Amino acid sequence: MALFSNTATLLGKELRTEFRSRELLTTTSVFILIVLVLFSFATNPGTEEARQFAPGLLWLAILFASSLMFQSCFLREQANDTLSSLRLAVSDPFAIFLAKLIANTLFLLLTEALMLPFFAIFYNITLWAELPILSLVLFLGSVGIAVAGTAISAISAQARMRELLLPLLLLPLLTPVLVVSATVTGSLLDRDPVVQWKGIAFLGVFDLVFLTALWIFGQYFLEE
């Protein structure tokens, strides 16, 4: 189908652009690391209370990092004025969003994968046992963040004060993701791990709602 082939081509472009320089991945990873370190200064890591806060802090760090990461998403196109050529190149403008969305999810997951070992060490948490489910939670959470982030990035790129505007618009929208992901991750990494399937399903619903909204309204974000 034209949508999938267009998306695949655009996705290839996104990935190639990023992996050529890797600047987004490196800066975002370092940022999450800095945030985790700062949290340790603000709290008291290694104690039992810190273990309880740790999952929330992890997701908070991911959220902050993503609000920086998505800045360049559509700004990159604006700077080089490539958006109009992209629009001409595809039959369905949703392909542009889908490609950026998949790329953003991948970048987020990569940075999370890089950060997890540090998180485990700093907060004295073993991840191995629950890694499959944890990966699922990270995946669903990251998809949700990426969907909302890509949409908001398209909006903020067309406004002034975009560096401040993007987090301002994005972070309140992502409250459900933060709450549920942090809680589910917390119970997963507890001394007696429990898998909250309801929470995982909720994350799936969040992703579905916003993905559908983006599919319906995506074309209007990119109008001339």
Partner 1 sequence: MTKRILLGVVATALLIIAAYANFYVAPNERTMGVIQRIFYFHAATAWAGEMVFFVCFLANLLYVWKREQKYDWLGVTCAEVGLACITIVLITGPIWAKPVWGIYWTWDARLTSTFVLWLLYVSYLLLRTLIEEPSRRALLSALFGIFAFLDVPLVFFSIRWWRTQHPAPVIMGGQGSGLDPTMQKVFFFNVLVMHVFCVFLIVERYILEKLRNDVDLLQREAEAQ
Residues in contact with partner 1 by the rule CB under 8 A: 148, 151-152, 155, 158-161, 165, 168-169, 172-173, 175-176, 179-180, 183, 198-199, 202, 205-206, 209-210, 213, 217, 220-221, 223
Output 29 or 181, the one with its CB closest to partner 1.
181
Output 115 or 170, the one with its CB closest to partner 1.
170
- Count of positions (residues) in the chain: 224
- Taking the complex as a whole, the smallest distance from the CB of residue 183 to partner 1 amounts, in Å, to 4
- Taking the complex as a whole, the smallest distance from the CB of residue 8 to partner 1 amounts, in Å, to 26
- Taking the complex as a whole, the smallest distance from the CB of residue 163 to partner 1 amounts, in Å, to 12
- Taking the complex as a whole, the smallest distance from the CB of residue 110 to partner 1 amounts, in Å, to 26
Output 11 or 146, the one with its CB closest to partner 1.
146
Output 98 or 148, the one with its CB closest to partner 1.
148
Cα–Cα distance between 111 and 25 in angstroms, integer?
A: 6
- Taking the complex as a whole, the smallest distance from the CB of residue 151 to partner 1 amounts, in Å, to 6
Q: Tokens 């890694």, residue?
A: 131
Cα–Cα distance between 140 and 207 in angstroms, integer?
A: 7
Output 8 or 83, the one with its CB closest to partner 1.
83
Cα–Cα distance between 118 and 115 in angstroms, integer?
A: 5
Cα–Cα distance between 69 and 59 in angstroms, integer?
A: 15
Alpha helices (runs of H) in 43-156, residue ranges in sequence order: 48-69, 71-80, 83-89, 94-122, 131-156
Token readout for 109 is 């997951």
Output 9 or 212, the one with its CB closest to partner 1.
212
- Taking the complex as a whole, the smallest distance from the CB of residue 199 to partner 1 amounts, in Å, to 7
- Taking the complex as a whole, the smallest distance from the CB of residue 11 to partner 1 amounts, in Å, to 23
Closest C-alpha among 158, 32, 214, 58 to residue 166:
158
Residue 128 DSSP code: G
**Pair 205, 145: CB distance under 8 Å:** no
Closest C-alpha among 167, 22, 13 to residue 77:
13
**Pair 97, 14: CB distance under 8 Å:** no
Output 43 or 219, the one with its CB closest to partner 1.
219
